[in-house]
Structure 1
Amino acid sequence: MFGGTTFEILALREGRWIIEATAKHQEVAQAEAAKILSRAGILGVRVIKEAKGSIDRLKPEDILFEKMKPKTEEKVFIQDVDDAPLCHAPSDLFVGEARATINRLFRNYLDKNNLTATEVMHAPRELKRLLDEGTLLFSAVGKVSTFQVRKMEDATVNQRRDVLFDFISKIQARANNAAEQRLPRIRVDGFNEVLDGIIANAPKEHVSYLIRYVMSVELIENRSFLGKFGQLMEWGWKAQTPQAMEAIDIFVSDTLYNTDVLRDMIGNPRELGTALVTLLCVAEGRPLVEEEEDEEPVELTPEHQDFSNSTFIRLIAAGKLPESKQVLVDRVRRQLEGLSPLTRGDREEEREVFVGLLDKLIPDIDIIGGPSMAQAMTTRQSTIINKGGNKGMREAAETMLPALGDPGRATGYLLAMMDSEIGQTVLRNDLETLLDKLLVHSQTINHLIRDKLPPNKKMAKVTSIYHHIQKSNLPEQRKAALTDRLDELLVSYITEGKILDKLDNPEKPLHVRAFMLVSMVQPEMLPKGKASNLARNIIVGHLRRPNFEDELVAGIPDPSEKAKTLRKFHEQLHRCGFFG
């Protein structure tokens, strides 16, 4: 009927229309849509022609078929989690990793009631409502107890369950106690004024809790996640103390588990790969709309429609929302580890999008998200090469290296993988072999670094790998073997290329030669070892010459410039450890 037209099947899930599947014929699309509607969590389906614009801005004539599920009260249930951190005291439930577990476990309940995990734990009424919600809390505690006893000795699930319920009782008692204190209201006395009063008058060990309590009192009255996020950004805009920003970060990170907040922040990208790149840009504090180089950044006021998202990105960029940044990065990791395709195209397009993601996740030697992200990358690569199981993960790790190209990025990836769960068990020997192949088996630095880079950048690249290995969790003997090999490669590169001869050319002024030689032994250029000693020995030879300092500045006529040059030279020597 429509020739080669592609028909898209949209599904309404958690208040959002998403592309669930495609078909070549309208009849096939409608039949598939009916099947999709029967799935749990799907509230409606649509069939449209392949959309040219946003699927959120469809006109009635664009919709060829639509069917909605009859509205019924959906049962609130506990979500699955794959782990839970061990808590030793009630206060441990307030920290990032524990709250992340709570936010995932109770996602359905929290979204339904427009509450954050931190609000519930600080509000006596809301905590009581959760306790009264049938078996919901009991199921969650049972699930968490099962994970936690695996990390303990001489403890049963029942014993652990009793401990966690005792923690919850103590959290409830603490919330009741705070409510009885009749603390000032932020909306009456002002944000900074109320927080300053708590900081000045409350016992130090209670300050953080009471700040979260008074913020919860206000946020609970706003039954919209977007409204809560906007309120938090207003507070963040005017916050004056580290304690205030710490509490704001906690609440903001909770709101980021809600899809409405993320959708408002990054829009509704048609493909998962685009969404993940956008999330990483936000996590880096980069504006979603590029500003002109000569354009002064404009600080928006709360009245502006873009105030909340703009303020959030500025606070992220300033390093003031570390937990919120971690939530965004972890969301990228979970999506990367999942089964949803990054693109609607073929496997080759999927591969290209993934390589673009790798550029964001491994910009240099350090990996955003660390070992768990490295494992997620490898999982995604195994999907792309269509190889499953442990064998697929082994092949995925090996084929990741050509995609990374740069030896620094490849080393960072391998070291992060060695610290991952699968890297410490299934892939350990394979990763060790790949690391040897990359670093030990390279005959020269030019074999290791194939890009056409000037000598100083090649040496700096090898040195960064050297330092990264030193800081890694490898056994000391293994570290020594790898770093010694890199030092040997540097020695060969310097001597065979006669680099020091070129730098210490007598035809150049002595102060130029001296500074170039000292630059060779900077920590970022050459590591301490045989290679740097080649340059150090030449420098020491110069320093021992009679009247060296006079010769050093002899070609500089201005006395003030002479003094400045000598001072700078001594500073460089000191930085390189020549004076102990």
Structure 2
Amino acid sequence: MAGGTVFEILTLRGGSWSIEATATSQQEAQVEAGRMLNRPFIDGVRIIKESKKSIAQLEPTDILFEKVKQKTEGKVFVQQILDAPLCSTTDDLYEWPARSTINQLMRTYLDKVNLTATELMHSAKEIKRLLDEGTLINSASAKVAALQAKKTDGNTNARRDEIYDFIRDINARVKTATDRKLPRVRDVGFNGLMQAVNGSFAGPDAGFMARVAVTAELIDNRNLFGKLATLLEWATEVDDETSFQVIDVFISDILWNTDVLRELLGSQRDLGSALVTLICFASGEPIDDGIPEDLDPEHPKFINFTLNRFLAEGRLPDSQAVLFDRVKRQLEGVNPLSRGDREEEREVFSGLLSKLIPDIEVVGGPSIAEAVTQRQSMIINKGGQKGLKEAAASMLPSLADPGRKAGYLLALLECALGQDLLRDDIDQHLEKILVLPPSVNHIVRDKMPPNLKMRKITSIYYRIEQSSLSDEQKDKLKSRLDDLLTSYIVDGKLLEKLDNPERPLHIRARMLVSMVQPEMLPNGRASSLAREIIIKHLRRPNFEKEMVATISDAAEKAQVLRQFHEQLNRCGFFG
């Protein structure tokens, strides 16, 4: 209302107050302030009447309402972990597997001080603070050493000494790097920083110095969501993969924080809904109605839209891995997927499977295949080794499509559970799905055109070829699929239908060559049938002239011949 009183809502973030919103009544302002106080990273709210005073100059009498979250100094401890990758050099600690371990071990500490694992390892001040504290680093080193010793000679003390050597080396490197006068991002921009670093350093040293410089820029911002916004703003300015790799390291560390994920995903009905949203986000599926044309860092959804776009483009592989790791750990956890009964739990899980195993590739890879098996064992309420075996078997009917079944089993084979407990079961399931059926139609039961059925069988063939199955088992399954494809082509007289003399020769030729495209048929007996007919045509005198004889336009003739040659080349007819 023009000329009316305006009430300003202030929020406290990272120790600083700022104006967040306005309202036309104090009651409306208090309702909105209550909503804001429930958000992560907002530590307090105030309501004041619109004033010309600076926020820093407010008097107690100016504040109409104030509420600040009570800070509890919860005990900082080292988290439990089940595995720790071996590191042979200091540089290994900066890579994804080691940083993943550090992010898990030091979660409560990092969340308390609002730092990322990478910042911690690239700031002399923060390393000193952690070393001076003593207890945490000693406890973390002992846990890692005990796990790693089982993979080596079993000497925990020796392994712990190596870890301490790595820590001392990191500390020395950071101190040396701090003495190098690198430009600040705020002065030269992120591209300018990367140019300066790449001009002075090479190989791992360039990456290390870039991370030191980025840490120097981010470390004073003790708001993880604010760090994320800054990194994404820099990312919109760069194109080269090396720069994105540096940004990805920091973003992936930030995404370990639970509050950041909650802020990104918004309010969710239950765990199942949250996981579906997280899977879609991590996969780069568009959110809302697409990115607005006027998107800039001031837009309220800048972080969500920009992060989602870079994930879709494959620019942030470590960040994507963190998100799918979160999905994995939640699936393996004990929290129910829904708030309803067991039947609703099954329905929610089925929806999750449609996202995680949409076709022959499992989204998130072998670790997700293992996680859904663990969750299935909880749903059927059977534990132990027997429960896991029954879980894997009972997963298959719900997947329905043969590509999804094969993809799940072959991904499961590549994780520890599949290699150990379920190895024989996986072989038996694959034989039942792919060897025992008498025809292609008994494997692919859906009503679909012949070309799509052949594509489905061929995609399974290639997935088997790339799998961890033994060579003997691979050959057995591939040979059987080739036999089934051959019978399908012969019994259905598919080649005769394609090579119908009533059709123009150029159409017949194109359709025959399409039969031996790599995605249609694998190189084997089935494709040889079509190749023989194609070669027979190619050997005819004046074949190409005959092929375009019914086409009157010279340009169209040339285009048909060019496309035909491209098809032949793709199928390996020219060597």
Compute the TM-score of the two structures, normalised by the length of structure 2.
0.86
Q: Distance in 1 between matches of 2:395 and 2:144?
A: 35
Q: 2:285 touches 2:312 (CA, 8 Å); kept in 1?
A: yes
In structure 2, the partner of 1:183 is: 182
In structure 2, the partner of 1:273 is: 272
Which residue of 376, 379, 385 maps to 2:380? 385
Q: Distance in 2 between matches of 1:290 and 1:385?
A: 38
Q: Which amino acid aligns with 1:73?
A: E
Q: Distance in 2 between matches of 1:399 and 1:334?
A: 21
Q: Which amino acid aligns with 1:407?
A: P
Q: Distance in 2 between matches of 1:170 and 1:414?
A: 43
- Whether 1:428 aligns to 2:428 is no
Q: 1:341 touches 1:350 (CA, 8 Å); kept in 2?
A: yes
For each residue in 1:363-405, what CA deviation from the matched residue of structure 2 results, as whole angstroms up to 9, or x when unmatched?
1101112111101011111111111111111111111111111
- Kindly state the Cα deviation for residue 206 of structure 1 after the two structures are TM-superposed: 1.6
Q: Which amino acid aligns with 1:431?
A: I
Q: Distance in 1 between matches of 2:498 and 2:459?
A: 22
Q: Distance in 1 between matches of 2:558 and 2:92?
A: 58
Q: 1:236 touches 1:248 (CA, 8 Å); kept in 2?
A: yes
Is the alpha carbon distance of 1:538 and 1:425 closer, same or farther for their aligned partners in structure 2, counting shifts above 3 Å?
same
For each residue in 1:236-277, what CA deviation from the matched residue of structure 2 results, as whole angstroms up to 9, or x when unmatched?
122354332111100000000111211111012120111111
In structure 1, the partner of 2:522 is: 527
- Whether 1:256 aligns to 2:255 is yes
- Whether 1:482 aligns to 2:481 is no
Q: Which amino acid aligns with 1:274?
A: S
In structure 2, the partner of 1:80 is: 80
Q: 1:280 touches 1:332 (CA, 8 Å); kept in 2?
A: yes
- Whether 1:464 aligns to 2:459 is yes
- Whether 1:502 aligns to 2:501 is no
Q: Which amino acid aligns with 2:498?
A: L
Aligned residues: 512
- Kindly state the Cα deviation for residue 71 of structure 1 after the two structures are TM-superposed: 6.5
In structure 2, the partner of 1:128 is: 128
Q: Which amino acid aligns with 2:272?
A: G
- Kindly state the Cα deviation for residue 106 of structure 1 after the two structures are TM-superposed: 0.4
Q: Distance in 2 between matches of 1:55 and 1:227?
A: 17
- Kindly state the Cα deviation for residue 205 of structure 1 after the two structures are TM-superposed: 4.1
- Whether 1:331 aligns to 2:313 is no
Q: Which amino acid aligns with 1:416?
A: A
- Kindly state the Cα deviation for residue 229 of structure 1 after the two structures are TM-superposed: 0.9
Q: Distance in 1 between matches of 2:202 and 2:277?
A: 42
Q: Distance in 2 between matches of 1:281 and 1:477?
A: 38
In structure 2, the partner of 1:513 is: 508
Q: Distance in 2 between matches of 1:54 and 1:71?
A: 17
Q: Distance in 2 between matches of 1:346 and 1:140?
A: 40
Q: Distance in 2 between matches of 1:202 and 1:482?
A: 51
For each residue in 1:193-239, what CA deviation from the matched residue of structure 2 results, as whole angstroms up to 9, or x when unmatched?
22211211234442111110011011110011111111111111223
Q: Distance in 2 between matches of 1:438 and 1:203?
A: 52
Which residue of 365, 375, 391 maps to 1:396? 391
- Whether 1:305 aligns to 2:304 is no
For each residue in 1:147-182, what CA deviation from the matched residue of structure 2 results, as whole angstroms up to 9, or x when unmatched?
111221x35100000000010001000111111223
For each residue in 1:437-483, what CA deviation from the matched residue of structure 2 results, as whole angstroms up to 9, or x when unmatched?
00000111111011001100001100111111111111111111100
- Whether 1:491 aligns to 2:490 is no
In structure 2, the partner of 1:282 is: 281
Q: Distance in 1 between matches of 2:155 and 2:360?
A: 43
Structure 1 stretch 127-136 or stretch 377-386: which is displaced more? Answer: 127-136
Is the alpha carbon distance of 1:391 and 1:108 closer, same or farther for their aligned partners in structure 2, counting shifts above 3 Å?
same
RMSD of Structure 2 on Structure 1 (CA) = 1.8
Q: Which amino acid aligns with 2:306?
A: T
- Kindly state the Cα deviation for residue 188 of structure 1 after the two structures are TM-superposed: 3.1
Q: 1:54 touches 1:270 (CA, 8 Å); kept in 2?
A: no
SS of 2:315's equivalent in the other structure is coil
Q: Which amino acid aligns with 2:538?
A: L
Q: 2:483 touches 2:525 (CA, 8 Å); kept in 1?
A: yes
Structure 1 stretch 234-243 or stretch 159-168: which is displaced more? Answer: 234-243
- Kindly state the Cα deviation for residue 74 of structure 1 after the two structures are TM-superposed: 2.0
Q: Which amino acid aligns with 2:85?
A: P
Q: Distance in 1 between matches of 2:320 and 2:470?
A: 31
Q: Distance in 2 between matches of 1:322 and 1:71?
A: 35
Q: 1:84 touches 1:98 (CA, 8 Å); kept in 2?
A: yes
- Whether 1:355 aligns to 2:350 is yes
Q: Which amino acid aligns with 1:342?
A: L
> Any stretches of 5+ residues in structure 1 without a counterpart?
1-52, 58-68
Q: Distance in 1 between matches of 2:555 and 2:249?
A: 54
In structure 1, the partner of 2:94 is: 94
Which residue of 544, 548, 551 maps to 2:546? 551
Q: Distance in 1 between matches of 2:194 and 2:509?
A: 56
- Whether 1:563 aligns to 2:564 is no
Q: 2:149 touches 2:156 (CA, 8 Å); kept in 1?
A: yes
SS of 1:187's equivalent in the other structure is helix
In structure 2, the partner of 1:209 is: 208
Q: Distance in 1 between matches of 2:295 and 2:357?
A: 32
- Kindly state the Cα deviation for residue 54 of structure 1 after the two structures are TM-superposed: 13
Q: Distance in 2 between matches of 1:563 and 1:393?
A: 60
In structure 1, the partner of 2:228 is: 229
Q: 2:360 touches 2:404 (CA, 8 Å); kept in 1?
A: yes
SS of 2:528's equivalent in the other structure is helix
For each residue in 1:406-439, what CA deviation from the matched residue of structure 2 results, as whole angstroms up to 9, or x when unmatched?
1011001111111111111111111111110000
Q: Distance in 1 between matches of 2:248 and 2:70?
A: 39
SS of 2:133's equivalent in the other structure is coil
Q: Distance in 2 between matches of 1:565 and 1:241?
A: 39
> Any stretches of 5+ residues in structure 2 without a counterpart?
1-34, 40-68
Q: Distance in 2 between matches of 1:445 and 1:273?
A: 35
SS of 2:209's equivalent in the other structure is helix
Q: Distance in 2 between matches of 1:343 and 1:56?
A: 23
SS of 1:170's equivalent in the other structure is helix
Q: Distance in 2 between matches of 1:101 and 1:205?
A: 21
Which residue of 324, 341, 345 maps to 1:346? 341
- Kindly state the Cα deviation for residue 55 of structure 1 after the two structures are TM-superposed: 12
In structure 1, the partner of 2:160 is: 161
Q: 1:419 touches 1:473 (CA, 8 Å); kept in 2?
A: yes
For each residue in 1:543-574, what CA deviation from the matched residue of structure 2 results, as whole angstroms up to 9, or x when unmatched?
22222112111111112211221121122112
Q: Which amino acid aligns with 2:126?
A: E
SS of 2:78's equivalent in the other structure is coil
Q: Distance in 1 between matches of 2:193 and 2:574?
A: 53
Is the alpha carbon distance of 1:204 and 1:500 closer, same or farther for their aligned partners in structure 2, counting shifts above 3 Å?
closer
Q: 1:115 touches 1:220 (CA, 8 Å); kept in 2?
A: yes
In structure 2, the partner of 1:446 is: 441
Q: 2:183 touches 2:196 (CA, 8 Å); kept in 1?
A: no
- Report the identity percentage: 56
Compute the TM-score of the two structures, normalised by the length of structure 1.
0.86
Q: Distance in 2 between matches of 1:403 and 1:555?
A: 51
Q: Which amino acid aligns with 2:353?
A: L
Q: Which amino acid aligns with 2:226?
A: G
Q: Distance in 2 between matches of 1:203 and 1:455?
A: 54
Q: 1:249 touches 1:322 (CA, 8 Å); kept in 2?
A: yes
For each residue in 1:117-170, what CA deviation from the matched residue of structure 2 results, as whole angstroms up to 9, or x when unmatched?
100101011001111224111010010011111221x35100000000010001
Q: 1:192 touches 1:240 (CA, 8 Å); kept in 2?
A: no
Q: Distance in 2 between matches of 1:75 and 1:204?
A: 40
Is the alpha carbon distance of 1:105 and 1:289 closer, same or farther for their aligned partners in structure 2, counting shifts above 3 Å?
same
